[in-house]
Amino acid sequence: MAETTATEAVREEEEKKEEAEEQSFEELGVDARLLRALHKKEIEKPTPIQRVAIPLILQGKDVVARAKTGSGKTLAYLLPLLQKLFTASAERRKLAPNAFVLVPTRELCQQVYAEVLSLVELCRVQLKVVQLNSNMLANDLRAALAGPPDILISTPACVAKCLSGGILKAASINESLETLVLDEADLLLSYGYENDIKAFTPHVPRSCQCLLMSATSSTDVDKLKKLVLHNPYILTLPEVG
């Protein structure tokens, strides 16, 4: 009898897993424009981290997501981030910058920027997306941030430089920032960005949704969690897979 119950429990567990694997982006709550964009990109089924992270991020929760490289963490945060911007009120949209995506390297900055642009173009929405890099001089930075962007993709160092140079105002971060993503969070501190991050975190409003993506867990990720997150959901693959 006990054995039958155990077998049933295992079967139920397997069925649940199979059902989850069949879940579509639509069932996760992704909006029609993004669904069409994903289809055009031939991305049909969410990955395990996307399945668990997207609904929580869409609900506005702070999330720490740890899953190995290549598991689809970029779309796990970009889809809800874009969706939030698509549905923001006109009043809210006037405030900018609305979202920061902070990454440890220029290459990653370029990669995330290309991904955002391709989604924005496929969705045919008007959003200003800007990337900053360490080669940009004060004038370039000023030009990039003029008519402030909805989404800013940058290393923490460039944001800190803009803040200290008065190109980016602490008050406007405080007034407008709705989403802060720290991508490859496990690398941000080891690449020496701690002081840059500390330069702007005091200005991040309490209402800002903070998302921390990483491939590994480390004391650095814990430190960052304490710096930017209030009461996050911690998603760790493979446990949630």
Q: Residue 191 is encoded by which pair of tokens?
A: 């690449």
Q: Which does 160 bind (CB under 5 to 8 A by kind): ligand ADP, Mg ion, none?
A: none
* Residue whose entry in the numeric block shows the structure tokens 């991040």: 204
CB of 69 to ligand ADP, least distance (A): 4
Q: Residue 130 is encoded by which pair of tokens?
A: 């800007």
Q: Residue 12 is encoded by which pair of tokens?
A: 């139920």
Per-residue contact flags (x/-) with Mg ion for residues 68 to 87, judged by CB under 5 A = -----x--------------
Interaction of residue 161 with Mg ion, rule CB under 5 A:
no
CB of 108 to ligand ADP, least distance (A): 9
Binding site residues, ligand ADP, CB under 6 A? 43, 45-47, 50, 67, 69-75
Per the CB < 8 A criterion, the answer to whether 130 and 145 are in contact is yes
CB of 78 to ligand ADP, least distance (A): 8
- Cα–Cα distance list, 235 to 66, 123, 152, 209 (Å): 6, 28, 25, 16
72 backbone φψ class: left, alpha, beta (φ>0; ψ -120 to 50): left
CB of 213 to ligand ADP, least distance (A): 7
Taking CB atoms, the residue at the shortest distance from Mg ion is: 73
Q: What is the DSSP letter of 203?
A: G
Q: Which does 50 bind (CB under 5 to 8 A by kind): ligand ADP, Mg ion, none?
A: ligand ADP
